[in-house]
């Protein structure tokens, strides 16, 4: 979870907005709107989720990663670095 | 809208599943789950939306684009090709 | 190949520039420059290649796809639509 | 630069291979090969560069980021976290 309450609040608001946006896209489909218009809305949701991920990651780095790095616990340090690797790797889809 | 009823049904089901997934992510945030776990779920939603977009685009190409290309209406042909350009361009974020 | 000679010329110039850019990144690595600076250059190359792909696709749609759609050859039409599907699918990495 | 000599060697080899690949794409264009085949090769180069970036980032996190986090220098710590933010942000293109 975001350690910073402002970040958490903002991520929460953005996710609720994404949820509403997806429901709107479901309705566009039900009302047989034009495919290209639907695709543009899906792309907008994906961009919003990119932004959410960057915010979550910022908070994570400023708290969990920082704490692990400052600790003397090298297995904890390896763990957080491996997690960051996985997050990057998933985006690269390597 | 997808012209093919099976496609439309499948896209509809996938979008409802994405909506449920996003609500689940909101709850993860509210329950202060670990940031990295939340990020992985957001990435899964983005992959699901990639798949939705490819399905929408397939249907669009097999119907609207095909019809426009077979028509004698060159301004309609330009219109559909420009739309495809925009969809690609948005993904490339050029 | 791009059917339009101006497009072909421009794509050619951009690809030569990408090749030079990649050689520059190799030198940055050999000269032990800072990782983050190298990563930013790799990201710039990827953005340049996104642009190249959109240009290639535009030309392809305006010529090969248009021709196939206007032909009476339905297997040729299927072929070009399947190819577009694969190009989109590869970008979505579905 | 990658601190780890094996990583540096491997990244170097991959970048040389990308450079060769790009030159091959230039030749495909000059020899008027089919657009879709060229696009697939460009996509392969982009995937190879994704992999290079993940490797560079791994090495960077295991050395520069770790060192900064373990130091007592909070401005240095902020600097490396801001850099990681920018790298993620560029990929999200927010």
Say whether residue B7 is in contact with chain A using an 8 A CB cutoff. Answer: no
Dihedral (Cα; C11, C14, C20, C23), 10-degree rounding: -80
Other C-beta atoms lying within 10 Å of the C-beta of residue C17: 13
Whole-Å CA distances, D17 to D13, D39, D45: 6, 18, 9
Q: Cβ contacts of residue B2 below 8 Å, gap of 6+?
A: A29, A35, B8, B11, B55, B56, B59, B60
Buried b (16+ CB within 10 A) or exposed e, D57-84: bbbbbbbbbbebbeeeeeeebeebbebb
Other C-beta atoms lying within 10 Å of the C-beta of residue D92: 18
| Cβ-nearest to D42 among C8, C38, C52 | C52
Say whether residue C48 is in contact with chain D using an 8 A CB cutoff. Answer: no
Please give the residue that has the higher pLDDT: either C8 or A70: C8
Distance of CA C19 to the CA centre of its chain: 13
Whether residues A22 and B18 touch (CB distance < 8 A) is answered with: yes
Whether residues D53 and C42 touch (CB distance < 8 A) is answered with: yes
Give the side-chain half-sphere CA count within 13 A for B26: 15
For residue C91, the model assigns a pLDDT of 60
CA closest to B69 among chain C residues: C69
- Quote the pTM value: 0.86
**Res C51 pLDDT > 50:** yes
Say whether residue C77 is in contact with chain B using an 8 A CB cutoff. Answer: yes
Say how many CB pairs under 8 Å bridge A and B. 108
Please give the residue that has the higher pLDDT: either B17 or C80: B17
Confidence class of residue D89 from pLDDT cuts 50, 70 and 90? confident
Could you tell me the two tokens for C21? Answer: 């850019």
**Res D94 pLDDT > 60:** no
Measured CA angle at D64 (ends D76, D5), to 5 deg: 160
Q: What is the mean pLDDT of chain A?
A: 89
Percentage of chain A beyond pLDDT 70 is 95
| Cβ-nearest to B66 among C50, C51, C69 | C69
Using CA of residue C8, residue D42, residue C36, residue D77, what is the dihedral sign? Answer: positive
Percentage of chain D beyond pLDDT 90 is 55
Tell me: the pLDDT tens digits for D37-78?
Answer: 999 999 999 999 999 999 999 999 888 888 887 787 888 888
Cβ-contact A18, A48 below 8 angstroms: yes
For residue C7, the model assigns a pLDDT of 87
DSSP string covering C28-93, please? HHHTT--HHHHHHHHHHHHHHHHHHHHHHHHHHIIIIIHHHHHSS-HHHHHHHHHHHHHHHHHHHT
Measured CA angle at B20 (ends B17, B25), to 5 deg: 125
Cβ-contact C54, B88 below 8 angstroms: yes
Please give the residue that has the higher pLDDT: either C22 or D86: C22
Give the side-chain half-sphere CA count within 13 A for C35: 25
Other C-beta atoms lying within 10 Å of the C-beta of residue B16: 14
Distance CA D76, CA D68 (A): 6
Among candidates A60, A55, A67, A49, which has minimal Cα distance to A84? A60
Say whether residue B41 is in contact with chain C using an 8 A CB cutoff. Answer: no
Least confident of C80-84, D9-13, D70-74: D70-74
Cβ-contact B62, C78 below 8 angstroms: no
Tell me: the pLDDT tens digits for B48-68?
Answer: 999 999 999 999 988 888 888
């Amino acid at each position: 979870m975001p350690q910073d309450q402002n970040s958490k609040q903002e991520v929460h608001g953005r996710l609720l907005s994404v949820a509403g946006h997806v429901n709107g896209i479901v309705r566009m489909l039900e009302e047989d709107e034009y495919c290209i218009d639907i695709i543009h809305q899906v792309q907008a949701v994906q961009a919003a989720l990119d932004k959410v991920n960057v915010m979550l990651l910022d908070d994570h780095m400023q708290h969990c990663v920082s704490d692990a790095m400052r600790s003397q616990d090298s297995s904890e340090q390896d763990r957080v670095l491996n997690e960051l690797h996985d997050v990057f790797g998933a985006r690269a889809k390597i």
